[in-house]
Structure 1
Amino acid sequence: MAIDVFEPHPIVRVLGKPAADFTAADLVRAIEQLGLRQVNLRYVGGDGRLKTLAFPINSRDHLVEVLIRGERVDGSSVFATDTATSDVYVVPRHRTAFLNPFGERPSLDVLCSFYDETGKPLPYAREQVVRRAAEVLAQETGMTLEAFGELEYYLVDEPERIYPVEEERGYQESSPFSKGERVREQVLAHLSAMGVPLKYAHGEVGNILEEDRQLVQHEIELQPVPVDQAADNLVLAKWVVREVAAAHGLEVTFAPSVSGEGAGNGLHIHSRLVRDGASTIVGGDGINDIGRRLIAGYLSAARALTAFGNTVPTSYLRFADGNESPGDICWGEKDRTGLVRVPLAWNGDVLPGMVAHANPGSTETIPEPAPHPQTVELRLGDGSADVHLLLAGMAVAAKRGLADPDSLELAERLSTAKEGEFEQLPTSCAESADALEAERGMFEADGVFPGALLDAVVAGLRDAEEAAPVGELAHDDAAREEFIRRHWHVG
């Protein structure tokens, strides 16, 4: 097949086929042609971080064995499971292969899935949870949930004398006033070459100046893909940001709260439902009833979803601090006050006039993207989110919203266009744990979330609350700063 001349993925260019069609034999051929000397099997652990198992290439037979069979690993160390049944398998997903941009040796990296001793998907493995959630949603509705994240992070450095940072003035600022633009550009280049679809990157509002350091906020926005791929892409994006920042001698943090002043890091998730290549959440007048049911599903499960999207005490400091952090469980179109936002999408009626005004005399055809670019933005998560579990939870909530006959009434009642009081998100890890316990039946249904996994999430939240009651942190500056540092490298 013909490959787009702009295709950034070197393995796609070498093989002349899309990544979705990669086989083990294809990867062997790419390794030969690119002169690679190592294969890294990558997987997401119980802490939501990317792990690595490195294999030197000893022979063709060895290479084929690694790429097809994978390896066994100690599941008890990966997921804190029962040590008596610790051995599990990791099996490569060939479509995820990419060239490692950071290793000492030229290497091929492949993401893996977990399986138990009987060959069945390991139920508490992150990628299997979100995959199962997506499958159940598709089976029951005929629709695919696509998603992408807005990944915010801070780069931390010494204050600069030349073109000094201005507090809270970082939004889409350009160099030299923006600090870290080279980091952003290198991150974009690496992720694109790894096959992660990106929309853009820019400076974010949060510039924070302290005595001995400056914190400059940035954001990467990805492109919509099925939720299981969206979760993997966010984990890869965090890894790449950290690697590039370290190469520049900079510290990076995705923490939900980074200072006594200024905004923390959110992780807003956009989503849409797609059937046969077309969006099902929009109609002639914008967001339609399916879109409203999707919103209602998210809002009805919002308190429980914080258990996956807001996992540390400083998450709830961020909510309390405001700075566009949501609190009310409601939704609106275009405004930024609701937990769910329907952002401005390209309007086919007004676009021709704008294009003609910006480009007088132009006769170019205006392309119509498919699916329609309209999304629904859930503004709940932050940088501590366990992204696979959060996206799996969103798929579960979407299924409930689509099936519940009262969803449209709920969406109407929780609109910001209505007057009245709205229910609030949890204000602490303990409240979040209680909310998950109350809704656990929804998440356990259809074998999506294993009970033991939910138990572990609840226990982790309760332990975190005992270590740092949020009410105390709000009134003790020293304790607050100590806990901000303790949760500095989350996710």
Structure 2
Amino acid sequence: MRDSEILMNPSDLVRFLKKDPAEFTKEDIIRFCEENRIEMVNFRYAAEDGKLKTLNFVISSREHLDTILSDGERVDGSNLFSFIEAGSSDLYVIPRYRTAYMNPFTEVPTLELLCSFYDNDGKPLESSPEYVLRKADAEFTRRTGCIFKTLGELEYYVISPPDDLFPGRDQKGYHSAEPFVKFADLRDEAMRLIARAGGRIKYGHSEVGCFFSDDTYYEQHEIEFLPMPVEQAVEQVILAKWVLRMLGNQYGVEISFAPKITVGKAGSGMHFHMLVEKDDRNLLVEDGKLSPMARKMIAGILDASDALTAFGNTIPTSYLRLVPHQEAPTTVCWGDRNRSVVVRVPLGWIGAGNMTRDANPCEGSCAGERPSKQTFEYRVADGSANPYLTVAGLVVASLRGIEMPGALEMAEQLYVSGNIFRPEFRERLATFRQLPASCVESAEALEVKRAIFEADGIFPAGMIESRISTLKTFNDRGLSEKLYGNNDAIRELVEEFIHVA
């Protein structure tokens, strides 16, 4: 790392060790703990429910620290994953040194490390979501020679008692500033703490959702990250959820990533932007426009989009969000700058290089070609998603699209320009497939297309079976229609799933 990168890096470990986290060694971690008087070490790992679990260690000696960093520890996998039987449930959790960060919430100096799961033979647990993503990423790079990068957009609501001063306007909270937004300080503090834990943040802002209901105030925010290799991209989303919930607990407010808080108000998604790089060049752009590779990837995602909901939309209230005219997708198609499609291609600074010079005449020429920032965005997933499996599914579907005969033709057929709900689109829209409208339909779509995900041994068959079974147990086919107008039943359902993944 360059000196400037070290000096401005918010990570305590990077500044102390003066190296990139990818280069952290066991000896680095031990030296940091010794010289910073670390008293406790926590192992963290995301289980099937997507929430971070914790195993705590009080460090008694250098030898003790060396042992846990070298050997990890045993855990009961049957209480972490539904598809592991109690009779053979012991798993190892092994820390990944590059993930080390200081816990910002403890008075006692405490170091945190994210862990991977290993089976009784010391091999990566095939059905661990983290390992499924690692396999998908490795297969993509092996077959394309490229690096797949992604970034998450994390939307959430702050739920609190009402504040009558400077009330925000109903459903008009997008990019509002204080005093008309009440919890910008919580968001700003979260961003700082996420960055200290290794997250690479692009920006944060208030979102559309802003309303009062039953003497309760609901305020929506979003934190968006920078593109990262897929494992790091998912880790920072999971850490961000933990940080936000911890801060909510300190502030005395609820933080919810639930896909829907109430009908008729903005839901919360977890969108993922994607790009592909080779030799530090973004391959989504060619000759100033979206490349054939990008369009093939989009076709692959659209082809698998109904089954992808099994990983990204995992609870009944997910399908209260996926309704027409709510800036959430329902129809399998894609387009530019369109928020009602499965895949959106946002502005990417193509052909827009002179804006800074126009805004700042004294700056002079903005010479030199800057790396392309172009991405495309999968808009279906929500806060109930298992981000490891969702991103793994996107990687698998993208790779399949690159290799799929007729992918470019499919992409052309499924492209829409402008608002897809305009009257002139009605006839064409009727020919497009619809996303599932319930967990049961999502399970049925995964049953039909499970071979896409099981190819190359990436998603184990047992995991797919478990996902299908879990989704079907909700028995929620037609639930949206049954709940229509029944506010008490909707409120009860929302409360049941208020603290998802």
Same fold (TM over 0.5): yes
The Cα shift of 1:326 comes to 0.6
Are residue 459 (structure 1) and residue 434 (structure 2) matched?
no
Tell me how far apart the structure 1 counterparts of residues 478 and 336 of structure 2 sit (CA, whole Å).
36
Question: Structure 2 counterpart of 1:133, which letter?
Answer: A
Tell me the CA shift for residue 335 of structure 1.
2.3
Deviations 1:412-463 (A, max 9, x none): 0000049613211011111100000001111111111111111111111111
SS in 1 for 2:335: strand
Query: Do the aligned residues in 1 keep the contact of 2:324 with 2:330 (CA within 8 Å)?
Result: no
Amino acid at match of 1:485: E
1:248-263 equivalences in 2 (<5 Å): 248-263=251-266
* 1:135 equivalent in structure 2: 138
Which structure 2 residues correspond to residues 112-123 of structure 1 after superposition, within 5 A?
A: 112-123=115-126
Displacement of 1:365 in angstroms is 4.0
CA contact (8 A) 1:2 1:16 kept: no
Structure 1 residues 104 and 321: alpha-carbon distance in aligned structure 2, compared to 1, 3 A threshold: farther
Query: Deviation of residue 225 (structure 1)?
Result: 0.8
- Normalising by structure 1, what TM-score? 0.96
Matches within 5 A, 1:410-449: 410-417=410-417, 420-421=428-429, 422-449=432-459
> Any gaps of 5 or more consecutive residues in structure 1?
none
State how 1:348-387 maps to structure 2 within 5 Å. 349-352=351-354, 354-363=355-364, 365=366, 368-370=369-371, 372-387=372-387
1:62 corresponds to = 64
State which of 194, 202, 205 in structure 1 corresponds to 2:205.
202
| 1:135-176 per-position Cα deviation (integer Å, ceiling 9, x unaligned) | 111111112211011100000111111111221121111111
Flag the 1:321–1:335 CA change in 2: closer, same or farther, 3 A.
closer
SS for the counterpart of 1:306 is helix
Structure 2 contact 148–230 (Cα < 8 Å) conserved: yes
Query: SS at 2:111's partner residue?
Result: strand
Equivalent residue letter for 2:258? A
Amino acid at match of 2:266: A
Q: What does 1:69-84 align with in structure 2 at a 5 Å threshold?
A: 69-80=71-82, 81-84=84-87
* SS across alignment from 1:240: helix
Residue 472 of structure 1: aligned partner:
482
User: How many angstroms apart in 2 are the aligned matches of 1:266 and 1:380?
Assistant: 7
Distance in 1 (alpha carbons) for counterparts of 2:257 and 2:478: 20
Partner Cα separation in structure 2 for residue 255 and residue 473 of structure 1: 18
Per-residue CA distance 1:243-278 (angstroms, 9 max, x = gap): 111111111111011013311101111001111221
Query: Are 1:237 and 2:247 counterparts?
Result: no
Counterpart CA distance in 1 for 2:192 and 2:356 is: 29
Q: Report the equivalent of 1:299.
A: 302
2:220 corresponds in structure 1 to 217
Q: Is the CA contact (8 Å cut-off) linking 1:317 and 1:474 kept in structure 2?
A: no
Q: What is the RMSD computed on CA atoms of the aligned residues?
A: 1.6
Q: What is the rounded CA distance, in whole Å, between the counterparts of 1:368 and 1:285 in structure 2? A: 13
Secondary structure in 2 matching 1:301: helix
Provide the residue aligned with 1:48 in structure 2: 50
Q: Give 1:5-16 correspondences, 5 Å limit.
A: 5-16=7-18
In structure 2, C-alpha distance between the alignment counterparts of 1:29 and 1:314, rounded to whole Å:
47
- Structure 2's unaligned 5+ residue stretches are none
Q: Secondary structure at the match of 1:320?
A: coil
- Once residues 238 and 288 of structure 2 are traced to their aligned partners in structure 1, the CA distance between those partners, rounded to angstroms, is 36
Shift of 1:285: 2.5
**Paired residues of 1:148 and 1:271 also in contact (CA < 8 A):** yes
Equivalent AA in structure 1 for residue 25 of structure 2: T
Tell me if structure 1 keeps the 8 A contact 2:140–2:146: yes
Task: Determine the structure 1 residue equivalent to 2:32.
Answer: 30
What displacement does 1:361 show? Answer: 2.2
Deviates more, 1:32-41 or 1:56-65: 32-41
Identify the residue that residue 337 of structure 2 maps to in structure 1: 334
Retained in 2: the 8 A contact 1:330–1:340? yes
Tell me the residue number matched to 1:391. 391
Residue in 1 that maps onto 2:95: 92
Aligned match of 1:483: 493
Question: How far did 1:395 drift?
Answer: 0.8
Does the Cα contact within 8 Å between 1:260 and 1:481 map onto a contact in 2? no
Residue 476 of structure 1: how far off its partner (Å): 2.8
C-alpha contact 1:153 1:219 (8 A) present in aligned 2 = yes
SS in 1 for 2:332: coil
Percent identity (aligned): 41
**Match among 107, 112, 118 for residue 109 of structure 1:** 112
Alignment partner, residue 293 of structure 2? 290
Give the paired residue count. 488
Q: What is the CA-CA distance between 1:2 and the residue it aligns to? A: 4.3
Distance 1:468 1:58, change over 3 A: farther
Quote the Cα distance in structure 1 between the aligned partners of 2:112 and 2:367: 38
Q: CA deviation at 1:473?
A: 2.2
